[in-house]
Amino acid sequence: MSILIKNGTVITLGKNNRVLKNHSVLIENGRILMIAPSKKLMGRYTTVIDAENKVVMPGFINNHMHFYSTMVRGLGKAKPSKDFNEVLKNLWWRLDKKLSLKDVYYSAIVMMINAIKHGTTTLIDHHASPFAISGSLFEIAKAATIAGLRVSCCYEVSDRDGKKVRDEGIRENEEFIRWSKKENSEYIKAMFGLHASFTLNDDTLEKVSDTGNSLGAGFHIHCAEAISDEMDSLKRFGMRVVERLNKFGILNDKSILAHCVHIDKKEMDIIARRGSYVAHNPQSNLNNAVGIADVVGMSKKGIKVLLGTDAMTVNMPEELRVALWTQHLRQNNPSAGFMEVARTLLFNNPEFASEHFGVRLGEISEGAVADIVLIDYIPPTEFNENTVLGHIIYGISEEVVDTTIVGGRVLMKNKKLNLDIDEEEIYRKSRELSKKLWERF
């Protein structure tokens, strides 16, 4: 199958980022075969997409997501919370205990449809459903296969619901990782999930470390999201969170530490030395009033900072904009952090995802996978390699995604889904299930 995207302005990103005006992109068998001036690519193709007055760029990647939170939208039954720990107890830990496997599937497929509409083509998910664990990751994988997206799954192991639930979570991670390795798909991958230091005992960290490292897995864990995580670690174990995770072998070059709002410089040095990644989630951090991570400081230490949304959105350019504004505030400098923040979504996210999925993501170049979005955009000022990042953050981010392609499969065209699913029925079923979930809440 061949697809020709013609007459567009191509933003290649990647190591040799270029802006190619009036160019076409030829896709064959899910890979980018050629990028050339439009007049040089003439002929018959299975599908032709006209990208006039549109930018053609790599699909966006979300490196920290929680699909299961979809069904909380509009819920007003949680008690007001004065701090992050109360947010967990009053909302999220009440919700996740009530999830069924059907809830897991529908919350995932709904958010994946939303992701397609916003040009997000790859998502790294972190899942929790303590009383519907077995098979939960496979439900998410089923939804991802139907939606046509690239998705990585893990289950959030914790001690907060007892050893039986903990052990079931460990098994779900192990089974899914083994299945993922056997399938060797370019679309579905696995990590080993953990909640956070303050809900994990030493014996659990030891079990998880032994299992995950024996499987060659990366770990995905919340780290120092609130100051209470650090205080708990210091009080109970006499060391800071990153030191504790490092002690148990959780940090490796495949691991993601989500948030890291309250880590200090010594912890940054440990993360950099281990080669682990940090997923920054600014909108969630603002919403939970936990603080703003020092993206500039971490970047200076050599840490690869990624961008996630923690389920606040699947609109990655929106998250990128907030990341920049908050970094200005964090550094008390309206000129600080531009490149450090731009790098998170546009360069670091693809670097991690390319290694994780085993294919070249996040760039339009010959041989890279054809994960491509077309976005309506007519630049009002000079548009080239020197100005493109500013255009993405201040302009393209505000425009509408027209077409989303993953692996050469057109998932949305002309702003209409191109999937063999009944979107209205999926949303109707989601409303039905969420109503029952709220009654159980």
Check whether residue 235 and residue 333 sit in a common domain: yes
Check whether residue 8 and residue 149 sit in a common domain: no
**Beta strands per DSSP E along 270-360:** 277-280, 304-307
Check whether residue 309 and residue 336 sit in a common domain: yes
Check whether residue 373 and residue 275 sit in a common domain: no
User: DSSP character for 314?
Assistant: S
Mean pLDDT of 129-150: 98
State the total domains in the chain.
2
CA distances to 38, 110, 134, 350, 423 from 147, rounded to whole Å, are 31, 10, 22, 20, 11
Q: What is the predicted pLDDT for the residue at 44?
A: 82
CATH of the domain at 142: 3.20.20.140
CATH of the domain at 21: 2.30.40.10
Instruction: Encode pLDDT of 90-106 as tens digits.
Output: 999 999 999 999 999 99
Which among 312, 341, 357 is the end of a domain?
A: 357
Q: Which residue has the tokens 């007003």?
A: 76
Indicate whether 322 belongs to any domain: yes
Instruction: Encode pLDDT of 260-312 as tens digits.
Output: 999 999 999 999 999 999 999 999 999 999 999 999 999 999 999 999 999 99
Predicted confidence band of residue 78 (pLDDT cuts 50, 70, 90) = confident
Q: How far apart are the first and last CA of the chain?
A: 48
Indicate whether 429 belongs to any domain: no
Instruction: Encode pLDDT of 396-425 as tens digits.
Output: 999 999 999 999 999 999 999 999 999 999
Whole-structure pTM over 0.95, yes or no?
A: yes
Indicate whether 374 belongs to any domain: yes
CA distances to 56, 87, 104, 350 from 13, rounded to whole Å, are 11, 38, 34, 10
Q: What is the predicted pLDDT for the residue at 391?
A: 98
Does 77 have pLDDT greater than 80? no
Predicted confidence band of residue 56 (pLDDT cuts 50, 70, 90) = very high
Q: How many alpha carbons fall within 13 Å on the CB side of residue 30?
A: 9
Average of per-residue pLDDT values in the chain: 97
Indicate whether 345 belongs to any domain: yes
C-alpha span between 360 and 381 (Å, rounded)? 31
C-alpha span between 396 and 376 (Å, rounded)? 8
Indicate whether 254 belongs to any domain: yes
Check whether residue 278 and residue 392 sit in a common domain: no
Q: Which residue has the tokens 């997501």?
A: 65
Check whether residue 10 and residue 98 sit in a common domain: no
Instruction: Encode pLDDT of 203-244 as tens digits.
Output: 999 999 999 999 999 999 999 999 999 999 999 999 999 999
Q: What is the predicted pLDDT for the residue at 43?
A: 79
Q: What is the predicted pLDDT for the residue at 230?
A: 98
Check whether residue 293 and residue 303 sit in a common domain: yes
**Residue scoring higher pLDDT (1 or 179):** 179
Judged by DSSP in three states, 284 sits in helix
Check whether residue 315 and residue 220 sit in a common domain: yes
Mean pLDDT of 47-52: 96
Q: Are 326 and 336 in contact (CB under 8 A)?
A: no
Indicate whether 349 belongs to any domain: yes
Q: Are 101 and 355 in contact (CB under 8 A)?
A: no
Instruction: Encode pLDDT of 360-373 as tens digits.
Output: 999 999 999 999 99
Indicate whether 93 belongs to any domain: yes
Q: What is the predicted pLDDT for the residue at 2?
A: 93
Check whether residue 51 and residue 112 sit in a common domain: no
Share of the chain above pLDDT 70, in %: 100
Range of the domain at 115: 60-357
Predicted confidence band of residue 1 (pLDDT cuts 50, 70, 90) = confident
Indicate whether 65 belongs to any domain: yes
CB atoms near residue 162 (< 10 Å) = 10
Instruction: Encode pLDDT of 300-358 as tens digits.
Output: 999 999 999 999 999 999 999 999 999 999 999 999 999 999 999 999 999 999 999 99
Which among 340, 357, 374 is the end of a domain?
A: 357
Predicted confidence band of residue 79 (pLDDT cuts 50, 70, 90) = confident
Check whether residue 287 and residue 297 sit in a common domain: yes
C-alpha span between 264 and 291 (Å, rounded)? 14
